[in-house]
Each structure stands twice: as structure tokens, then as C-alpha cells.
Structure 1
Amino acid sequence: MDHAYDLDEKAHIADYKADAIEAENAEHAMTVMQAVRAYPMASFWAFVMSFTIIMESYDVFLIGNFVALPAFVNKYGITDPSNGKLVIATKWQSALQVSGQLGALIGVFLAGPLTSRIGYRYATLTALMLLNVFIFAFYFADSLPVTFVAQLLEGLPWGIFIANAPAYCSEIVPIKLRAPATQMLQMFWAIGSIIVGAVTYRYNGLDTENAYKIPIALQWMFPTPLAILVFCAPESPWWLVRKGKFEAAAHAVERLGRRSVVNSKEAVAMMRRTVELEKTEKQPSLLELFKGTDLYRTLIVCGVYAAQNLTGNLIANQAVYFFTQAGVGTNTAFALGLITSALQMIFVMLSWILTSYFGRRSIYLWGSAVNTILLVALGVAGSVAYSHSSQLAQASLGLIVSVLFTLGPAPASWVIIGETSAIRLRPLTTGIGRATYYIVEIPCIFLASYMLNPTGGNLAGKCGYVWGATGLCCLITAYFFLPEMKGRSYREIDILFNRHVPARKWKETEVDMQADE
């Protein structure tokens, strides 16, 4: 009797593996357009989840623009003794820039355990409802300290959005769509800055509090409609498989793809095979992220996130203020900030083509190298004698650095972040990775504000030397430790990490379709 049971169990495992192999082969065989046609709703729901990032982007750029907004400066500014003009004090300029990030830092630590427990949908819905409440505090703030606290509270749901979105997007789409699905995050970051640029450009001429109150109130456009859509979205089938809810996972797959094309039974079998490969008796915990192979994976995610702040990206976040300190007039600075954001969105869409057909590693490395060279050139432009030409050169290079960053390193980063972590640890890994982003960003914001502020370092374009040096360090580190994951299933990625294949040899290493270790 026991012998017969063992034979049945072996037959069941064989069938299960056969289905998993069929599903993985089907995903590998798809072209990008075939994947879009097979999984139309997956693309739509990735779009919806990515949209949540627009709220952090909107507010980050809003605060960055407020320090250059005349009405805001007139209310909260102090007199610069060197020229008698009003400016926001350096300490408050930096504090306002980091307040949201401090809240988001707390939010990303909440996101991992919360999402692991209740899923991506309900965690995101909770954050959207909280954001609706916290916008009130920001709108009715009447002092810089209250504004600081309001921004900190708004940061809590941002942390959940930014931790969940790349993970959810990478899990609901097939292999060929992982790059464009996760890169939509960068596109919505750019869209958020475009809306802010347009709104502040429209109202920067007002000398009343409406110049900054109306842009704050416009934040209410986003949370409620998004909450309705997220409520209707399917849960990640990978999360459901991790929870042992195989029928629900199959139903989610059917909602994401066309039933006539996608075999939900085989798709779930593929997920089960990968989850079994990572299976352990322990519940996922933050400590696991720093043990064995998972430590390497965690360091990659944390390193890529940290590098976003060390390669000149803060120039983009403070574009308007950078342009004003480079000597450009206020109206022109706001116009240039809007142009920068529009170009960023266009270049992000171009990056979909690049990362769909070229490797993540190569795009990241070449993009980082070009970015480093441009930052040094910006430093040189800021070092020459002050003239109209040097002002123009600094403004132009600042714009180019901000835009090209969204063609190479930035969008490639989101794909790498979504692919690198183990499935069972994904919510925790993306959370700790984004926490690293904020931990690095907060001192960098203080440094960036100090370097640009006339009451601080007053470096203008010479800040390019600083970001060029940190960018070079990130480039060298990525060359030695960042593997190429393009076209790899999550099973293959697990196996390559477990085999300790050197990063530079991933592209040429083959993994047998039958292999489970």
C-alpha cells in the first residue's frame, strides 16, 4: 500500500514538473508583442499599481519647487545678508526635502511585513486611504514645523507604494514584459514632476497663499480613484501560491491573461516549482535577507537603490532650484523644469525598447558611465569665469544629466530591483532596498541643498564634481557585482544565485530546464 502511494506521489510530482516546464518554455518563446497580447490585463494592472508612485513624485517635486516659489519664500523666507533677497533658510530647505523621505523610510519597513501578511492589494488600499487623511494636515499647515510633520505623515503611505509597486508589477507579467512593466514606475515619477511643473509654473506669479495651497490640494485627485481600481485588481498569483492558495492563484492568472492563450494550471505549476525551490520551514523575516545567498541579492537591490541618489539624480529633483542658482530667471527656471520633466517621460518610454531588447547590466553600466562624464563636465562649466555662456552651459548640462538619467540607469534600476530578490522574500527585500534609498538620500539632500544654497556652499554647477565622484564609485561597484538577468525566469535566477555564478558570467551561463538546484 505504501509502495503504491509512493508511486502515485512520484507520478504527481512528475506531472507537476512537466506543467511547470511547459509554462516556462511558453514564456521564453514569447516575443514582447505576443506577451502583450497574451497578458493584456496584466499590463493594465501594472499600469494602475505604478500610478501610485505619481503621488510621491508629485510631492517630492512640489517641495523642491516651493523653495523657489516667490509666494512661499515671501511667507517663510529669511533675508540673505549677501544680497538682501528672501530665501528659505538652508536648515528648513533641507528639512522640508527630507521630511517625506523620513516618513517613507518608516513606511517601507511597515510595507514588508504588512504585504507578506495581507497581500499587495490590501496593503496598497490601506496606504491610499491614509494618504487621503494626511493631505489635510499638509493643506492646513501654517508654519514650517507643521509642514514638516505633515510631509512626514504623507511619507508613510509613500513607503508602502514604492516598496509594493515594483514587486507587484514584476510578479503579474511574463518574463518579456518585466522590463516595461517595472519601468512604468519611472515614467509615472516623470509624470508627477510634469504635473507639478505645470501647476507651479501656472501659479508661481501669484503673490498669495493660493500659489502653494492649490498645488497641495490637487493631491486629492489621486488616492480615491486609485483605491477603487486597486480594489478591483487581482492579487499577485505568486503571493497566492506562497500562501498555498492555488485555486485563487489560477483564477488570478486567468484575470491577467487571455484564457485562450494562457494555461493557468501550467502557470501555477511553474510558480509552485519556484516557490518549492525556495521553500523553508521558517516564516520570511528581515534577518533572512542578510544570510547566505540572500545577502548578495539584498546588497544588489540596496546598492542599486542607493546609487539613484549618488549619480546626480538629486539635480533632477531640485531642477528648478538648480536652474535659479545657475543664474536663470525664475520664470525661465520653472519652464526649464517643466521641459526637463516632459523629456524625462519621453526618454523613459524610449528605455522600454532598450531594456526589452538589450541587457539590464549593459544599459546600467553604459548609462552610468555617460552620466559620470556629464557630471564632471557640469563641474567644469561651473568652475569657469561667471558669464552668460557659463550660465547657459550649467543649465544645459543640468537638464541633460536629469534627462539621460531616465534613459539608462534609472529605468534599468527598477527592472533589476524587481527581478533580483527571492520570491518568498520579495516584499521584504524591496522594502529594505527602498529604506536604503532613503537612508542615503536624506544626508544627500542636506548636502545637495547646502551645495546649491547661496547661504551655504553656493557651488551651483561645481556640485557636478561631487556627484561625478560618487557616480564613478557606483559604476565600478556595478561592473563587478551586477549580474545580467534579462530573459531569465525566477527559477533560473534562483539557481544562478545559489550556484554563486560570478556576475560577469551570467549572460553566458546556461541553466537546464530540468534543473531544480
Structure 2
Amino acid sequence: MNNELESHSRAQQEVEVKPYTSEKEQVEHVNDIDVAKGHAEFKADAMEAEKMEHQMTVMEAVKAYPMACFWAFIMSFTIIMESYDVFLIGNFIALPAFANRFGILNEATGKYVIQAKWQSALQMAGQLGALIGVFLAGPLTSRIGYRWATLVGLGLMNATIFVMFFANSLPLFFVAQLLEGLPWGIFIANAPAYCSEIVPMRLRAPATQVLQMFWAIGSIIVGAVTYHYNTQLGTNAYKIPIALQWMFPTPLAILMFFAPESPWWLVRKGRLDQATRSIERLGRRSRLNAGETVAMMRRVIEHESESSPNYIELFKGTDLRRTAIVCGIYAAQNLAGNLIANQAVYFFEQAGMSVDTAFALGLITSALQMIFVMLSWILTTYFGRRPIYIYGTLFNVVMLFALGIAGSLKQTTSAQQAQASFGLIVSVIFTFAAAPVSWCIIGETSSIRLRPLTTGIGRATYYIIEIPCIFLGSYMLNPTGGNLGGKCGYVWGGTALATLITAYFCLPEMKGRSYRELDIMFRRRIPARQFEKTVINAEEDE
């Protein structure tokens, strides 16, 4: 009996000390449990999607995302228009019909040449327009998306070609190039960002490297057309190559109208259902779980600020470092010998080649560039971005100084051929190593939220550096200017060496890293040379 009374007493005490829980508090407690459970499931889905991307091989990724590869290919095709026009103006300077119509007589050679100031002006006009275009592209894309921003650019491109086609003076050509540069800025800012966002991790390198291939294709088309017309002296010799620009914008606009929007952009806008449908359009449903992929994207984006992105943020906190890398990579494209490739035909002429041989060598250079860009896909599959960039730039530094030495020797036939050979090698190896891997780095470095603005400001840096470099390059090669010929290799070798040293200390290795991992490493301020060794666990968010 006493034991029963003691048990009853203890039971009463337990009842008395148990806190009272209202019905509202019980509901809130259940909701908290559901939220925690939902968050755990959401994170598990995100981790599973990221794990699948890490485990995919390149071929498995292609099979899982065939349409993502197709749409990356179509978006990259927009770069062909800037490439075509950049090389077209460079070839026009060496084209006899254009020089006879708009040039002045060089009494030393008895040939007409475009004055150095107009050479520089024509080649920098498009870049100046593109500089304006990239600043428009960032806010425009952040607001209406990659797809519609590209359609706006294609419509504008169709209109501005008219100005160039009917231009009958060098000032009008300058204005035409300036106007055409506006849509270039939109294309070049959007293409690497869109391509890197619609494909899985394993395909980021080849998807962005396609941009360099189309740059080479544009130069091949120009080289073939101007090679055909270099012996003709009528206006058709430059009017027809201008008119051929119209073969690109309209077909591309039709295709881009049906393109899916970047799912990352849709998730940023909170349009999760549309993001899911976009992923399903990009990949095979049987090989992927669109819901898990959206969860992976949300996991990354939810750690970013919810405010509207603006240019000021690019220069604050850890985003400053990411912006500096993108801007540095873009700037380096002009400082490591790329301008020799853009002025290849004119360079070959100044190296002593005949006009016909110079145009033939320019066409050969462009064809080799396309082949080596495709070979670079194999290179980036097995090697990291950092070693490819550093060793590729180092090789070009050596070749550029060798070019300078060849230009300093007595100008015999052998010396001229050596200059042409070194110029060709620099142009081709640039498109095998540093140039294609640059697009991978540009597409991977910035945060998702600021990506349209970062690629825009990065390309703006490219043009800001390129404009004075064009003036310098044209002056160095022009017989009415510096007339340096191959000795320009000393100048470009010096600038390439500066980019090589900077890259060694500042360029991190980002191969095989998810956007979450890259965000964490940049937030932790991991030194560039420690990125490859750093381990980020699947559970970590900060």
C-alpha cells in the first residue's frame, strides 16, 4: 500500500511540474518540425544533385544534357558576328580595293595605304561601341534574362549593318563600326555566362571554349572572302564581305526565340516551376532529377543577397577579388599577342610577304586556330585551368621575344619567313591554351547573382585595354608610323610576361568545383595556389 501511495504521489508531482502548452504553441512546434524536416530534405536533394554532377564523366554529361550542349552551341554562334567584323576591318586595311578607295599614296612603295590614324580609328570604333554595349548588357540581362537580351542584340545588329553597307567615307565607316559594337557588347557579355549556367559542371569548359572556336570560324569566313576579292579593285571587293554579315542575325534570332532561359536566372527570380521546366528541356528526364537540380541552385542562391544586383557590389568584399580575376583574364587577352592574330594579314604584309601570300597565310592561321581550339577541349578535360593558362602564356612569351629577335636581324628572305612563322605560331598557340581556357575561367569565377554584371565589366576591361593597344599595334606595324615589323614582339612579349607573373600569383584552379564550393572558397579567402588542395565537404554552406 505504501508503495502504491508513493507512486501516485510521484505521478502527481510529474504532472504538476510539466509546463502547460497551448494549442497554438503545439501547432507552431509542429510547424517548426515540418520546416526543419523540409529544410533537411531540400538540402539532401541539393547535395544529391551536386554529387551526381561530380560523379559524371564528360560523355555521361553530354548524354544527360544533349539539348544544353545544343543551346550553348547556338548562343556561342553570336560571337561569330563580332569576330567576323573585327577581322573584316583588319583585312580591309590590307585589301587593295579598300586602300585604293580610302587610302593615301605611299611614295616609298607606290601603293595606297590607309593612314595609321584611320587604321587605329576603324579598328577601335567597334570596341568603343562594344564597351558601351557591355555596360547595357548587365542590367538588361539581369532584368529580362539572357534570351530576350540576346534577341534585342540580334535585332539591333540587323539594323546597324545597313549603316556600314552604305558607308562611302572613313568617318561613316567609323560610325557604322561604333553602332555595330553595341550588340557585340550584349553578345560577348551574355554568351559565356549563359553557356556556363545551362550545362553541368563537367561541360562548363567545352561549352565556354566553343566561343573561341566561333571566333576562329568568323576569321576563316573573312579570310576566305577577302582572299577571293584581294585581286579585285571594284567596290564589290569590300561591299560583298560587308553584306555577308546579314546571313547571321535573323536565323539566330529565330533559334534563340525558342531557346530555354537559364535555370539559374529563373531561380534567382524565384520562378522555380519555370526553372524546373527549363532543366527538363536542357536534359533527359530519364537521366536527371530536375527537382534536385533546382534544389542545388536554390542552395547556392539563398546564401546571396536578396537585393537587386548593382555594379558597386562588384568592388566590395570577396566579390572584388572575383571581379579582379575576370577583368584581369579579359585584359590579358590583348596583352599576350592576340592583336597579332587580329591583324594577321597586315602583319604578314609588313613582314615582307606578298599581298596574295599574306591573305593565304591569314586564312591558314584562322583554319589552324579552329583546329587547335577543338584540341583544347581534350586539354581541359585532363588538365586544370591554371596550368594550361600559365604554360600556354609562357610559351607565347618565348615566341614573342623570338619574333622580336627575328625582326632585329638583317631583313633577308629567311628573316622575313622567320617573322611570319613566329607570328603564326603565336596566333595559333594562343587559341590552343590561353584563349579557350580564359572563357572557362570567366564563366566560373563570378558569383551567380552578379554574373551578368561581372562578365559585362570584365569585357569592358577588355575593350578599355584593347583600344590603346590597337593604336599602339597599328602604329608599330604601319610604314607611315613606327614601321617596327617583327620588332613589335619585344613589346608584346613584355606585356605577356607581366600577365604571366600576375596569373602565377592570382589565378586559382577552379576545375571540377561546383558553384557552391567556389562561393565558399572565395568567402574564406583561400590563396590562389591553395584552391586545388582545399577540401570542401558536401554539408558545408559557409
Smaller-chain TM-score bracket: over 0.9
What is the CA–CA distance in structure 2 between the aligned matches of 1:162 and 1:472, rounded to whole Å?
A: 26
Alignment correspondent of 2:373: 348
Instruction: Report how many residues are paired.
Output: 516
Q: Deviations over 1:78-128 (max 9, x none)?
A: 122433321100000000000000000000000000000000000000000
Kindly indicate whether residue 432 of structure 2 is the aligned counterpart of residue 394 of structure 1. no
Kindly indicate whether residue 303 of structure 2 is the aligned counterpart of residue 277 of structure 1. yes
Shift of 1:336: 0.2
Kindly indicate whether residue 117 of structure 2 is the aligned counterpart of residue 91 of structure 1. yes
Alignment correspondent of 2:312: 287
Kindly indicate whether residue 449 of structure 2 is the aligned counterpart of residue 455 of structure 1. no
TM-score w.r.t. length of structure 2: 0.95
Alignment correspondent of 2:353: 328
Q: Which has the larger radius of gyration?
A: 2
Question: Amino acid of the residue matched to residue 515 of structure 2?
Answer: Y
Question: Amino acid of the residue matched to residue 318 of structure 2?
Answer: T
Query: Equivalent of 1:223, from 223, 227, 249?
Result: 249
What is the CA–CA distance in structure 1 between the aligned matches of 2:306 and 2:93, rounded to whole Å?
A: 52
Shift of 1:427: 0.1
Shift of 1:9: 1.0
Q: Any gaps of 5 or more consecutive residues in structure 1?
A: none
Alignment correspondent of 1:379: 404
What is the CA–CA distance in structure 1 between the aligned matches of 2:288 and 2:352, rounded to whole Å?
A: 57
Kindly indicate whether residue 500 of structure 2 is the aligned counterpart of residue 511 of structure 1. no
Query: Equivalent of 2:230, from 184, 204, 210?
Result: 204
Alignment correspondent of 2:56: 30
Kindly indicate whether residue 213 of structure 2 is the aligned counterpart of residue 194 of structure 1. no
SS in 2 for 1:217: helix
SS in 2 for 1:86: strand
Alignment correspondent of 1:264: 290
TM-score w.r.t. length of structure 1: 0.99
Kindly indicate whether residue 102 of structure 2 is the aligned counterpart of residue 72 of structure 1. no
Shift of 1:205: 1.1
What is the CA–CA distance in structure 1 between the aligned matches of 2:320 and 2:209, rounded to whole Å?
A: 25
Query: Equivalent of 2:160, from 134, 145, 167?
Result: 134
What is the CA–CA distance in structure 1 between the aligned matches of 2:148 and 2:111, rounded to whole Å?
A: 49
What is the CA–CA distance in structure 2 between the aligned matches of 1:294 and 1:23, rounded to whole Å?
A: 26
What is the CA–CA distance in structure 2 between the aligned matches of 1:355 and 1:386, rounded to whole Å?
A: 40
Question: Amino acid of the residue matched to residue 301 of structure 2?
Answer: V
Query: Equivalent of 1:359, from 379, 384, 387?
Result: 384
Query: Equivalent of 1:445, from 460, 470, 474?
Result: 470
Alignment correspondent of 2:174: 148
Map residues 7-46 of structure 1 onto 2, 5 A cutoff.
7-46=33-72
What is the CA–CA distance in structure 2 between the aligned matches of 1:496 and 1:285, rounded to whole Å?
A: 23
Alignment correspondent of 1:242: 268
Alignment correspondent of 1:369: 394
Alignment correspondent of 2:141: 115
Q: Any gaps of 5 or more consecutive residues in structure 2?
A: 1-26
What is the CA–CA distance in structure 1 between the aligned matches of 2:109 and 2:280, rounded to whole Å?
A: 65
Shift of 1:420: 0.1
Query: Equivalent of 2:329, from 294, 299, 304?
Result: 304
Kindly indicate whether residue 485 of structure 2 is the aligned counterpart of residue 472 of structure 1. no
Alignment correspondent of 1:63: 89
Q: Deviations over 1:295-318 (max 9, x none)?
A: 000000000000000001000000
Query: Equivalent of 1:406, from 423, 426, 431?
Result: 431
Alignment correspondent of 1:496: 521
Q: Deviations over 1:332-391 (max 9, x none)?
A: 000000000000000000000111221000100000000100000000000001100000
Ranges of 4+ aligned residues in structure 1 off by more than 4 Å? none
Alignment correspondent of 1:420: 445
What is the CA–CA distance in structure 2 between the aligned matches of 1:30 and 1:293, rounded to whole Å?
A: 30
Question: Amino acid of the residue matched to residue 146 of structure 2?
Answer: Y
What is the CA–CA distance in structure 2 between the aligned matches of 1:212 and 1:367, rounded to whole Å?
A: 36
Question: Amino acid of the residue matched to residue 244 of structure 1?
Answer: G
SS in 1 for 2:302: helix
Alignment correspondent of 1:317: 342
